[in-house]
């Protein structure tokens, strides 16, 4: 036993890194080859995001703020994809903006992946629009409270927003039916709650998807200031599974057809809509390893303390 404890005490940390690499790569390989995903049980916070988008009247105009960049796309891109997909399935109009410099490109990717691929009948400028990045952080939020088009005078492609069909009837941010936001840090969900949701007196419903680091800071806002919250990749996987379950349900066939979704109701979900659920496999492997390491660390600590007490006695 002393031998094993001795090895653990002197274990080079690089073996832990190697074990973590294997714990992550193993499930990715297995799930990549078998194309299987783990089952998800949605929490109330994730279910609320789904319900809020579902409960809006068809054709509502939703503001989607993608405040993230490729550095956090692993966690957040599946949330953005799912939000755009559910809005399209429900026939909502989508106005995309970003307060992060690379957010405009993340929006372009989502539009290409979801809207152009599976909802080709939707028209740019009429059913959706990418207004791109706007510099100014909280100042942009303060401006959109009173004059949305002043904060975003042109689209990402350079077209003036003044006479854009999708923005007819939108004067200020409070005119949107919902603010759906994906947040990687500053400026993000916290600032949107502080500067926009609070200032609107709770009239503008907001749902958010955020990184794991931000999630504990945002939970106090749910379900009051935030109507729904997707916490980290787990929240993304839950939300994805809710939409996939809805899409697979034959009872929703008529609504799917009216939304013009290519493929219609199908038990076979396209792999691009299983990204977050696939990423729960490596999460399982990594977390099991973490639990084992924490237990081993405590065993070594207790054994050390015991031997020190014996030596002192």
Instruction: Say if residue 216 is preceded by a cis peptide, omega within 30 of 0.
Output: no
Helix axes 73-89, 44-55, angle to 10 degrees: 40
Q: How far is the CB of 193 from another protein (least distance, A)?
A: 6
Binding mask 198-227 for another protein (x = CB under 8 A): xx-----------xxx-xx---x---xx--
Q: Is residue 169 involved in binding another protein (CB under 8 A)?
A: no
Q: Is residue 133 involved in binding another protein (CB under 8 A)?
A: yes
For another protein, which is the closer residue by CB, 25 or 257?
A: 25
For another protein, which is the closer residue by CB, 24 or 56?
A: 24
Helix (H, G, I), strand (E, B) or coil at 204: coil
Is the separation of the CB atoms in 222 and 229 below 8 Å?
A: yes
Q: Is residue 142 involved in binding another protein (CB under 8 A)?
A: yes
Number of residues that bind another protein (CB under 8 A): 59
Q: Locate tokens 């419903």: which residue?
A: 205
For another protein, which is the closer residue by CB, 233 or 256?
A: 233
Distance CA 10, CA 8 (A): 5
For another protein, which is the closer residue by CB, 92 or 134?
A: 134
Q: How far is the CB of 144 from another protein (least distance, A)?
A: 14
Is the separation of the CB atoms in 242 and 276 below 8 Å?
A: no
Q: How far is the CB of 10 from another protein (least distance, A)?
A: 11
Question: What is the full DSSP assignment across 140-163?
Answer: HHHHHHH-HHHH--B-TTS-BSTT
For another protein, which is the closer residue by CB, 71 or 264?
A: 71
Residue from the set 271, 304, 305, 307 that interacts with another protein by CB under 8 A: 271
- For residue 84, give every residue at least 6 positions away whose Cβ sits within 8 Å of its Cβ, in sequence order, or none: 64, 94, 110, 111, 114, 115
- According to DSSP, the β-strands at 206-210 and 178-183 are parallel
Binding mask 220-259 for another protein (x = CB under 8 A): x---xx-----xxxx-------------------------
Q: Is residue 194 involved in binding another protein (CB under 8 A)?
A: yes
CA-based radius of gyration for the chain? 23
Burial (CB count <10 Å: 0-12, 13-18, 19+), residue 137: middle
In the complex, the residues that contact another protein under the rule CB under 8 A are 12, 14, 17-18, 20-21, 24-25, 28-29, 31-33, 35, 71-75, 101, 133-135, 138, 142, 153-154, 158-160, 162, 193-195, 197-199, 211-213, 215-216, 220, 224-225, 231-234, 271-272, 274, 278-279, 282-283, 286-287, 290
């Amino acid at each position: 036993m002393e031998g094993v404890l001795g090895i653990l005490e002197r274990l080079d940390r690089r073996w832990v890194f190697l074990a973590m690499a294997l714990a992550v790569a193993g499930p990715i390989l297995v799930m990549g080859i078998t194309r299987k995903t783990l089952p998800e049980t949605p929490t109330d916070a994730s279910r609320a995001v789904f319900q809020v988008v579902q409960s809006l009247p068809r054709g509502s105009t939703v503001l989607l703020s993608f405040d993230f960049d490729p550095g956090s796309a692993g966690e957040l891109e599946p949330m953005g994809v799912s939000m755009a997909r559910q809005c399209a399935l429900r026939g909502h109009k989508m106005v995309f903006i970003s307060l992060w410099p690379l957010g405009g490109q993340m929006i372009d990717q989502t539009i290409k992946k979801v809207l152009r691929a599976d909802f080709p009948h939707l028209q740019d400028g009429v059913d959706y629009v990418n207004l791109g990045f706007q510099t100014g952080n909280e100042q942009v939020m303060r401006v959109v409270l009173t004059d949305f088009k002043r904060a975003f005078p042109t689209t990402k492609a350079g077209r003036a927003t003044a006479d854009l069909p999708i923005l007819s009837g939108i004067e200020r941010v409070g005119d949107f039916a919902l603010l759906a936001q994906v947040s990687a840090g500053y400026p993000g969900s916290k600032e949107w709650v502080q500067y926009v949701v609070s200032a609107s007196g709770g009239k503008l419903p907001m749902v958010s998807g955020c990184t794991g680091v931000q999630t504990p800071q945002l939970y106090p806002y749910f379900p009051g200031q935030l109507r729904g919250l997707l916490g980290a990749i787990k929240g993304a996987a839950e939300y994805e599974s809710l939409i996939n379950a809805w899409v697979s349900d034959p009872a929703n066939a008529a609504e799917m057809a009216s939304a013009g979704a290519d493929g219609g109701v199908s038990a076979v979900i396209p792999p691009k809509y299983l990204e977050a659920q696939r990423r729960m496999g490596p999460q399982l492997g990594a977390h099991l390893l973490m639990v084992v390491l924490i237990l081993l660390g405590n065993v070594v600590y207790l054994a050390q303390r015991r031997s020190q007490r014996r030596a002192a006695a």
